[in-house]
Amino acid sequence: MTAELKISIRGLRKDFATRFGCVGALGGVDLDVREGELCVLVGPSGCGKSTLLRILAGLEGATAGTVEIRRSGGRRPPTAMVFQEPSALPWLTVRSNVAYGLRMQGMDAARRDSIAARFIEKVGLARFAGAYPYQLSGGMKQRVSVARAFASDPEILLMDEPFGSLDELTRLALQDELLWLFEETHKTIVFVTHSIDEALALGDRVAVMSPAPGRILSTIDVPFPRPRKLIALRENPEYGRHVARIWNLLGVGRERDAAPSA
């Protein structure tokens, strides 16, 4: 790959002060993400994946280390985040939610509405453009958040287990939609999940993290060509081999091989 570096993370550490003293969430993360790449972070619960995303999003500061996001100029915001929990603003209609990022950039109403309409169409919510979030199902609310993030045209997209709380079928549908939104727009995406399956289905590269304080144990290039088909992917013999490899890195099943230490 010759694409330019988009994100460069060096020695990133984050400690939290708690009642029980200082707890390390991130223990020195080094990671590069290329322009137009979908990089997936997988790791055990509590390994600091979400903290890493929140630092990238500017919602939290780091204890040490640096994060650089290469800007392409203009009014584009550095990041747009899709959260795990429903985050469509309850007081805005689907249309206004999707246009929210553009509105904060100061774009005039006519232009942002036409851009929003395009992305609402892409996630299949055209009929619900005037609806409020309480009138939508969980999957539809998440589609609103995805459309909002893409519509605001950020330098990088951050996704924090965006499909984690959805049922299996809805999750597959949203993964599929994300795949073709990504393959169409070629945004740079950092995607956090604890599903190995999801990581391989979506990612160009999978970065496997250690338990807290989180570090990157290894990054794995995902060889499947795009555009991807979620079903065909699972029939690929390479698929199972990659699942096993990531399992091994995460140490799944290791408890049975060694005596439990705690």
Binding positions for other proteins, rule: CB under 8 A: 57-59, 77, 79-81, 83, 85-87, 89-92, 100-101, 103-105, 132-134, 148, 152
Question: Taking the complex as a whole, how short is the minimal distance between the CB of residue 114 and other proteins, in angstroms?
Answer: 19
Question: Taking the complex as a whole, how short is the minimal distance between the CB of residue 91 and other proteins, in angstroms?
Answer: 4
Backbone angles phi, psi at 86, to 5 degrees: -55, 125
Task: Report which of 228, 192, 243 is spatially closest to residue 52, judged by C-alpha positions.
Answer: 192
d(CA 124, CA 203): 23
The CA–CA distances, whole Å, from 139 to 38, 135, 161, 191, 233 equal 22, 12, 13, 18, 23
Residue number with CB closer to other proteins (78 or 139): 78
Residue number with CB closer to other proteins (77 or 251): 77
d(CA 31, CA 38): 13
d(CA 29, CA 41): 12
Question: Taking the complex as a whole, how short is the minimal distance between the CB of residue 119 and other proteins, in angstroms?
Answer: 14
Question: Taking the complex as a whole, how short is the minimal distance between the CB of residue 59 and other proteins, in angstroms?
Answer: 6
Residue number with CB closer to other proteins (6 or 205): 6
d(CA 189, CA 175): 13
Quote the tokens at residue 75. 């009014």
Question: Taking the complex as a whole, how short is the minimal distance between the CB of residue 73 and other proteins, in angstroms?
Answer: 16
Residue number with CB closer to other proteins (49 or 148): 148
Question: Taking the complex as a whole, how short is the minimal distance between the CB of residue 174 and other proteins, in angstroms?
Answer: 18
Residue number with CB closer to other proteins (156 or 196): 156
DSSP letter (8 states) at residue 81: E
Residue number with CB closer to other proteins (141 or 205): 141
d(CA 114, CA 109): 9
DSSP β-ladder status, 5-18 and 21-34: antiparallel
